[in-house]
Structure 1
Amino acid sequence: MDRMLPLIQNETLKIWKKKRFYVVILVLLVLIPIFTYAQVKIAENNKKNFKDWRNQLVQQINDYQNALSSERIPEDWKRYRKIAVQQLQYYLDHDVNPNSPDGVTFTRGFMENSVSLFYPLLVLAIASDLVSGERSTGTIKMLLTRPVRRWKILFSKLVALTLYVSLIVVTSGILSYLISGAFFGYTGWDMPVFTGFVIHGSTVDDAYVHAVPQWLYILMQSGLIWVSSMTVAILALMVSVLIRSSAASIVTMMAAVIAGTILSSMSSSWESAKYLFAVNLDLTNYLSGSPPPINGMTLSFSLITLAAWAIGGLIVSFGVFTKQDILN
């Protein structure tokens, strides 16, 4: 343990000195105000058109129901609309505004919409070249000549990576709340949010639905985002070990994440796609009651699938790193 701490500190400082985390913060500082401004405009437009949020929900439900009668809309989209109608009606019946204009609600929405693509890309900015980048610069040779077991070196990189993934999730939530709160106010922590919707085909089972305060919902949401982000980080570490080129490892993981996101919206009839890691990244959908990409997928299934991918990635990473001739 005495030798591990200096290694972890060294890997943490190396990531910090690359200034990738600064880039992540800069991206958040640029994009969050843009999204906030868009929400401000939407809120202003809703105030003009609707005197009460209930009227807005009624109008949204009517629009969805009218769309269901159209023959031009694919059946998959109709399924989403049918589920959305039932959930909006549940909020309306219980007199809860699901889109309350406040900083906490904006933060919840921002994190929920970012889990499948935005967070993975932020993680890849740090994780994709942890090993391949050192091969390109030659620093891996100096590191491996030290009297330290190889698995300890890779483990220290994993610990440092875990730290930065956690920082990305926490920092994004804090910045989102601080920036959006300046426009919408810093209220909404105790607002009830309904969770526990169970999807059966095109119907919603509300037998297990219960209200939780929004602060607790965001904590649960953040935990699921962290699991998804760590799975991407571990797989990126594996690719970084397998591929010597830093640029190639980054492109490979970006292509996998983006392709998986596209596949999630097109794979409803391909049941085997549910075993791909990228199709299971959007864990927060299970909290909000959104339908899964493929019928039959559940939170437990997605967690087990991501865990299997992560464990497989760790086995490959440590197996290759400890035995491969990395110096050449």
Structure 2
Amino acid sequence: MAKLLKLIQNENMKLYKRLGTWIMIGIIIIAVLGIGVFSKFFMDSGENTNWQQRLEAENLQLERQLEESPFQSAGEAYVTKQIAINNYRIDQDIPPLHSQSLWGFMIDTTNLTGIIALFAIVIAGGMVASEFSWGTIKLLLIRPVSRTKIILSKYITTILFALFSMVSLFLFSFLIGSVFFGLEGAEDPYLVYNEGEVRERNMISHIIGLIGFNSVDLLMMVTLAFMISTVFRSSSLAIGVSIFLLFTGPQVTQLLSSYDWAKYVLFANTNLQQYTNGTPLVEGMTMTFSIIVLLVYFILFTLTTWVVFKKRDVAA
């Protein structure tokens, strides 16, 4: 364990000595600041004015839709949930979230996890392949440390970078949101509709949950990029393929959703929010099913990485 920790420390030192690593972190911070400036100075400040009347009008429209439209069960459940939450807001005097508030701004910035995934893929794609291209892999393997610990230290370092980026995103979004929008409404809860009843949840835990949901896609794509980097010893191939799949995989899977076998595709399962904020991509899918599918893919990617690196002839 001590040797593994030392390897992780060394990998982190190499990673954070690179100017490119800090440029990535800087871009995340600048993106958060940019969203804050846009929300503060360029969005309609009257978004939450007369919100009670707006919600009452929205409920009337939703109730009319329930009476006139033959909703499927999922659509009817969504409309019922929205009406209940709107009524609860009116009764308890809890205004809806909007971008010009601390929590609304922080929820908007959770979309930046896509940028973090992009940067983590770049790190993962070069983590192993760069050792081969620079010729330093032989120096690395002559150490009295097993190859398993070497490849594990590199993977953990990549995940730690992604985690550090996520924490930075959360902290800077809170700081910038507090400066731009203040702490007014910070005590407001997040409302959920469960078993026919509206319940209040802590807003910070909800935001952390959103980041966690978005991190599932990140984890799988980073693991895929790491595997390609190890198998083919090409950082450009690992980065290119992973980024291509990151942006096109969900769209292609959506087109294939009419086929039952599509539920076994990786990208049909990475969005776990489909079980909390909508309907499954393919009928019959459950969160347990998606978690099992994700675990199978994760084991396949990591096992392939380990076997190839373990058997790799560095002289070749």
TM-score by length of 1: 0.80
**Aligned twin of 1:39:** 39
**Among 309, 314, 320, the residue aligned to 2:297:** 309
Per-residue deviation at 1:194? Answer: 2.6
Give deviations 1:204-230, integer Å, cap 9, x for gaps.
xx4376321112222333433444432
Counterpart of 2:109, as a letter, is F
The 1-side partners of 2:120 and 2:64 are apart by 41
1:21 maps onto 2:9 in alignment? no
1:298 maps onto 2:283 in alignment? no
1:271 maps onto 2:260 in alignment? yes
The 2-side partners of 1:83 and 1:31 are apart by 36
**Aligned twin of 1:148:** 145
The 1-side partners of 2:187 and 2:121 are apart by 34
**Aligned twin of 1:202:** none
**Aligned twin of 1:102:** 101
**Aligned twin of 2:53:** 55
Counterpart of 2:304, as a letter, is V
Per-residue deviation at 1:82? Answer: 6.2
The 1-side partners of 2:55 and 2:232 are apart by 51
- Cα RMSD of the aligned pairs, angstroms, is 3.3
User: How has the CA–CA distance of structure 1 residues 161 and 124 changed in structure 2, closer, same or farther, with 3 Å as cutoff?
Assistant: same
**Aligned twin of 1:203:** none
**Aligned twin of 1:71:** none
Per-residue deviation at 1:43? Answer: 4.1
**Aligned twin of 1:322:** 310
Per-residue deviation at 1:278? Answer: 2.6
The 2-side partners of 1:208 and 1:216 are apart by 20
Contact 1:91 1:98 (8 Å CA) reproduced: no
The 2-side partners of 1:208 and 1:311 are apart by 39
**Aligned twin of 2:202:** 213
Aligned residue for 1:274, secondary structure, equals helix
Aligned length: 309
**Aligned twin of 1:6:** 6
User: How has the CA–CA distance of structure 1 residues 127 and 62 changed in structure 2, closer, same or farther, with 3 Å as cutoff?
Assistant: farther
Residue ranges of structure 2 left out of the alignment (5+ in a row): none
**Among 163, 167, 190, the residue aligned to 1:166:** 163
Deviates more, 1:297-306 or 1:308-317: 297-306
The 2-side partners of 1:62 and 1:122 are apart by 45
Counterpart of 1:123, as a letter, is A
Aligned residue for 1:195, secondary structure, equals strand
Counterpart of 2:83, as a letter, is Q
User: How has the CA–CA distance of structure 1 residues 79 and 39 changed in structure 2, closer, same or farther, with 3 Å as cutoff?
Assistant: farther
1:253 maps onto 2:242 in alignment? yes
Aligned residue for 2:191, secondary structure, equals strand
Aligned residue for 1:325, secondary structure, equals coil
Aligned residue for 2:247, secondary structure, equals helix
Contact 1:20 1:126 (8 Å CA) reproduced: no
User: How has the CA–CA distance of structure 1 residues 56 and 302 changed in structure 2, closer, same or farther, with 3 Å as cutoff?
Assistant: farther
Give deviations 1:154-210, integer Å, cap 9, x for gaps.
01112212211211211111122222232222354442213365xxxxxxxx43763
Per-residue deviation at 1:276? Answer: 2.4
User: How has the CA–CA distance of structure 1 residues 20 and 304 changed in structure 2, closer, same or farther, with 3 Å as cutoff?
Assistant: farther
User: How has the CA–CA distance of structure 1 residues 81 and 236 changed in structure 2, closer, same or farther, with 3 Å as cutoff?
Assistant: same
Contact 1:128 1:239 (8 Å CA) reproduced: yes
The equivalences for 1:208-247 within 5 A come to: 210-247=199-236
